[in-house]
Amino acid sequence: LVAAFVREFEKTMKKAIDRISRQSMNTLKSYSWPGNVRELRNVIERAMILNQGSTLEIQAPQETDHLASAGDLSLEEFERKHILNVLEKTNWRIKGQSGAAEILGLKPATLYSRLKKLGIHRSSR
Q: Mean pLDDT of successive 10-residue segments in the chain (125 residues)?
A: 94 92 91 83 91 90 56 80 90 92 92 94 72
pTM of structure: 0.52
* Separation CA 39–CA 106 (nearest Å): 15
Residue 68 is predicted with a pLDDT of 47
* Separation CA 63–CA 26 (nearest Å): 15
Task: Tell me the C-alpha to C-alpha distance, in Å, between residue 47 and each of 10, 37, 51, 82, 84.
Answer: 11, 15, 6, 17, 18
Residue 109: Cβ within 10 Å count: 10
State the amino acid at position 113 in one-letter form.
S
* Separation CA 27–CA 36 (nearest Å): 15
Residue 18 phi/psi, 5-degree rounding, is -90, -30
Residue 110 is predicted with a pLDDT of 95
Residue 123 is predicted with a pLDDT of 77
